[in-house]
Structure 1
Amino acid sequence: MARKPHKKSRLGCVECKRRHIKCDEGRPTCGNCNISRRACSYASMISEAHIILEQFPRNSRSAGKADKQRPSDSPTPSQAGSGSDIDSPPVNALHLELFHHFVQDLSVSLGLDRIVSGNRAIGLMGSMLAAPYLMDQILAFSALHLSILRRDQQKHYKYHADQLQTHAISALNSLKLEVNPENCLPLFIFASCLANHTLCEKLVFRADSFDDFLDDFVQSLHLHRGIRAITSQSWHFLLETPLKDTLRKSGQALDDGPPGDECLELLSLVDTTVSDPATRDTYRQAIESLQKTLNANRVLSPELSAMSLVISWPVMIPPEYSDRLAERRPEALVILAYYATLLHMHSTIWLFGDSGEYILRSVNAYLGNAWEHWLRWPNEVLRIYSASPQASEMRTSADLTSTPGA
């Protein structure tokens, strides 16, 4: 039987194109490169994105063309790896479906319906439509959400989520923008959406091993660093946008939450056992930021929804914490376990799924019994939530069972 000619992928990684083989594009590092231990162009794309985000305020303005064409055709089920006989819809119809889903459903999940209305909503939508890189990322995020909701079409939507995100990053990288009053809002929304998209991928579609998961999670922390860079250096611009009230109130909610003591024991352990002053200060900042989120978690408000609360911690932590986590420092892993309690408390949110429980159990296994006293509070939370009839009911509810695990 004659071999069917291989149809080249337009967006496959460089190494697979050179070797004339089909690229598994649905991964940060494609499967072929991973198996053969070759350098993969996809592996560096997200890293390049977070560097670009951090350098926005320092980049000089470029007159490059803003628009980047979206994919002009949908893959067949075999190209998308769907394993089903569901044909991909035409691209224009697919984009309309994704945009409609974002406006009607995902915006509610993100809390946009509560924080913008009337003219502010029109202004926000105008910013989205004026920035093609942002529109591609919004469509990608919408496709990611549908890949979780519609499990029978999961690979189909996940494929388009990856493709659209690739186009979004490529379009942004070509612009070399400088933050100004006109683009600060789309850049901020793009950075937030990209970071949350990547975080969801690392948490819900996580790697098989805990070591690989940690590497991926650190990568997502780097992207959240980009949000912090844009927010801190363009705050005066953002306060003139439709999100001004939300930004002020969410910051106030984090600062004004009723004080709690969940992290006091961990702070004491860090102070008495970590000898290096710089490392100790890094851990203290990460822990104090986490205590703020736990305080605010007790009094959630429309300005600070559960989802925005949980994803605020990766934005607030010092950059050095992700370095310590990449080094597998035990104290950094314990802090991650404390953060995982928040993920576990909100496991019905599609962005997190069962990742909190996975991280808690994995950290326990990784560190062993010698660190059991450091993990006392996270393990107590895990025991209570696992034994609670309400938690059991929540874990079997429709919105959670539609969320894929590892």
Structure 2
Amino acid sequence: MRRTHRKSRNGCAECKRRHMKCDENQPICAQCTISRRPCSYSTASTIPPQSPSLNYTPLTPGPSHAGEPPGVSSSYSPARQETFRPSVSSLDILVGNPSFPSTASGVHQDNHIHADPSDPFAVNMLHLRLMQQFSMETGRTFLLVPDDAEASTKIFLKAGLQHSFLMQEILAIAALHLGFSLPGKREYYHHQATGLQARALSIFNSTSLDVGPENCVAITLFSSLFAMHSLCDAVESCEKSSDKFLSACINSLDMHRGSRTITQHSWHLLLQTEIRPILHAEHLQTAFDQEHTTGGRTNACISWPAMVQSEYMDLLMKRNPEALVILTRYGVLLHCHRELWCIASAGEYLIKSIDRHLGSYWESWLVWPNEVIGTSLDYQS
């Protein structure tokens, strides 16, 4: 079922063009903040779009070593760990408090969220409710450890309590889940999810991080949750089989690009962490094998986007036919987890959208994905 919403007569031009609900926050609304699109109102000039990429500068580059993904060069030894510092421009557009002071170490200390800023002892009951939701239900969706939802949830919360940008996205995805669970309050919780997600992105982009053992896990988890959140929004707001859904899905994958660069250059660190089981899903075939060997007890469909190479994403952004055919295999992987609230019909929608986009010339390459979802498009229609 598509999500209905009140039309925003005073919304920005971009949200009106995309038929999205606009929160009318100025100068840039939450939707445009998240999607990095130019945001303009009838009485305001257009703000140029921010680059969706995180720029990184290796402080100590070195030769390639075994155990890291292809195309990444760095050196590592127990005696001397490398540090990579991504240079990120601040959005300066927040949903909530516009000020995010940073510490000398470059890591924000914004973990204490109060209902009343003037009272440091006030408790925000909404955020506690969202924390409970993630701890008891939402966190169990994202398996980082095969067949161990409790351990996976603990990994998320441990990293979230240390890094504010991840905690904000944890609360955002919990709010999104509550909206699905409570249809009568869907609009309210979706609004909370959008605001928390925009704030998470703003904190992340305004934080200067020295990527190392203490934060590489948080960055990777943030990337995965953020993109899955965006994909979930696409499933809710876009017509199935439409070019709009295909674009939304590809955009959600592209959101990984900046943090993926950081992830690749901290690969040797990640392989020593608690999330190493999900790092083996770099290739789609590996993801399928992982699904088979674990009986679907790991969400390779959630971890794979964080491992995709930038060259492939460039081809997807250009709608390269071969790249789109490969993406239908990811659609099959999503379809295998259609029982998850955050995926639902995403796999089916993705396959149908690509099938419609490519047309009959590529029909023979899409037989298997269409068989999996149990449909076949009529190209004469």
2:297 maps to amino acid? S
3-state DSSP class of the match of 1:111?
A: coil
Partner of 2:90: none
Find the aligned partners of 1:38 and 1:203 in 2 and give their Cα distance: 31
1:332 maps to amino acid? A
On the 8 A contact 2:224/2:305 being kept in 1, the answer is no
2:347 maps to amino acid? G
User: Which residues of structure 2 form unaligned runs of 5+?
Assistant: 1-9, 11-21, 59-82, 88-102, 117-121, 377-381
3-state DSSP class of the match of 1:381?
A: helix
Find the aligned partners of 2:352 and 2:323 in 1 and give their Cα distance: 15
Partner of 1:14: 27
Find the aligned partners of 1:366 and 1:186 in 2 and give their Cα distance: 36
Give the 3 Å change call, closer, same or farther, for CA 144–38 of structure 1 in structure 2.
farther
Q: Which of 146, 158, 164 lines up with 2:178 in the alignment?
A: 146
Matched, 1:100 2:92: no
User: Which residues of structure 1 form unaligned runs of 5+?
Assistant: 1-5, 17-22, 74-89, 256-288, 386-406
Q: Which of 320, 344, 347 lines up with 2:338 in the alignment?
A: 347
Task: String of CA shifts for 1:120-166, please: whole Å, max 9, x gaps.
Answer: 98776443212222211111111111122222211111111111112
* Structure 1 residue 40, shift from structure 2 partner: 6.1
Partner of 1:299: 293
1:208-287 mapped onto 2 (5 Å cutoff): 210-241=242-273, 243=274, 246-247=275-276, 249-251=277-279
Q: Which of 276, 284, 302 lines up with 1:290 in the alignment?
A: 284
**Structure whose CA Rg is larger:** 1
Q: Which of 298, 303, 306 lines up with 1:315 in the alignment?
A: 306
3-state DSSP class of the match of 2:364?
A: coil
* Structure 1 residue 204, shift from structure 2 partner: 3.8
Partner of 1:382: 373
% identical aligned pairs: 33
* Structure 1 residue 59, shift from structure 2 partner: 3.1
Partner of 1:367: 358
Q: Could you state the TM-score of these two structures normalised by the residue count of structure 2?
A: 0.67
Find the aligned partners of 1:123 and 1:297 in 2 and give their Cα distance: 21
Give the 3 Å change call, closer, same or farther, for CA 25–361 of structure 1 in structure 2.
closer
Find the aligned partners of 1:172 and 1:291 in 2 and give their Cα distance: 32
Find the aligned partners of 1:196 and 1:182 in 2 and give their Cα distance: 24
Give the 3 Å change call, closer, same or farther, for CA 129–349 of structure 1 in structure 2.
same
3-state DSSP class of the match of 1:166?
A: helix
Find the aligned partners of 1:115 and 1:231 in 2 and give their Cα distance: 24
Give the 3 Å change call, closer, same or farther, for CA 152–164 of structure 1 in structure 2.
same
3-state DSSP class of the match of 2:293?
A: coil
Partner of 1:133: 165
Give the 3 Å change call, closer, same or farther, for CA 380–233 of structure 1 in structure 2.
same
Task: String of CA shifts for 1:307-340, please: whole Å, max 9, x gaps.
Answer: x211233233321222222222222222222321
3-state DSSP class of the match of 2:166?
A: helix
On the 8 A contact 1:59/1:178 being kept in 2, the answer is yes
